[in-house]
Amino acid sequence: MNLRPLFPETRLRRLRYSKVVRDMVAETSLSVDNLIMPLFVCPGENVKNAIKSMPGNDQLSIDLLVKKCGELLESGVKSIMLFGIPESKDEDGTVATHDHGIVQDATRAIKATHPEMFVIADVCNCEYTTHGHCGTIVDGDVDNDQTLVTLAAQAVSLAHAGVDMVAPSDMMDGRIGYMRKALDENCFEKMPIMAYSAKYASGFYGPFRDAAESAPKFGNRSTYQMDPRNSDEALREVEMDIAEGADLVMVKPALSYLDVIYRVKNEFNVPVVAYNVSGEFSMVKAAEANDWIDGNRVMMEIMTSIRRAGADIIITYHAKEVADILNGKL
């Protein structure tokens, strides 16, 4: 039957029939260069503690962490973010400021073996405090200004250990400016700061708190992390961090906050980072394990959506898997 087309001039499917053409006209690209892999380092030797809520991820002792970095580099992943599980904790998190803290020693070991690996250190106190909050507790809540002192000392210590970038995740007011000043005064004016600028008080962090052993012992973090109902406030947070000296700004989590990523990218002319957090990762893995989804396909769709929203960089526990797919190994 020869039916007369109702729309002869515009047929959008013409650019979809061939994969070559689809690739040529694709509006969003995803590269291994966009990826950062988070890793968890713990005390001991030859220690590999599986994180049950995050399949495929482990707490690793420094020797195995160095080996893991080699595997990542072979996949093309050139950047990691380190989180530490210390031997001991204290009320203020000052153990994180020690010259031979767990992340400091891990950084030196990585750089000795893989100098080309770009090491980003998370700067926060929640893994290092006995109470699991992100700073010093006064009258039942985190004291903002006392916490700044510990955070700045931690950043300087990490810089001395050889990290390539610091990433404060605490959400204290004024911490970027305070940290920038401390780094500059210690001759680390070239050290970039990746600010967790719009970090929400989210339910998606559960598996991470298992991994980092950082769940708060009382209350929650709603007095310092952002309210999920707000996006205008995120722009204010980002603007303040940039004014204080942040070189990159982050939105965390990613999937439920794609609108915030989009707004930040369109409002500010700075690199935008999105953290595809543990809960987002674990939901994909759980659904895949039950044969409810094609895990790799959904993973790549998620990565593409985060890039499409405007993120230049994605921190994700999927990093090696994504790299292997991009490199044709999966």
Query: Which residues participate in catalysis according to the annotation?
Result: 199, 252
Q: Measured between alpha carbons, how far is 170 from 133 in angstroms, rounded to an integer?
A: 9
Q: Which two tokens stand for residue 98?
A: 């020690």
Please name the residues in contact with 178: beta carbons below 8 A apart, sequence gap of 6 or more: 148, 151, 152
User: Of 153, 235, 252, which is closest to residue 196 (Cα–Cα)?
Assistant: 252
Decide if 125 contacts 178 (C-beta within 8 A).
no
Give the Cα separation of 265 and 102 in Å (integer): 34
Peptide bond into 55 cis (omega under 30): no
Alpha-helical runs (H) found in 60-174: 62-75, 102-113, 144-161
DSSP class of 181: H
- Residues in CB range of 211: below 8 A, 6 or more apart: 40, 51, 53, 54, 57, 59, 83, 278
User: Which of 204, 148, 194 shows the shortest CA–CA distance to 173?
Assistant: 148
Task: Please name the residue that has the structure tokens 């220690």.
Answer: 47
Q: Are 41 and 61 in contact (CB under 8 A)?
A: yes
Rounded to a whole number of angstroms, the distance between the first and last alpha carbons of the chain is: 44
Enter the tokens of residue 245: 């000296």
The residue type at 257? Y
Q: Please name the residues in contact with 50: beta carbons below 8 A apart, sequence gap of 6 or more.
A: 57, 58
CA separation for the pair 293, 290 (Å, rounded): 8
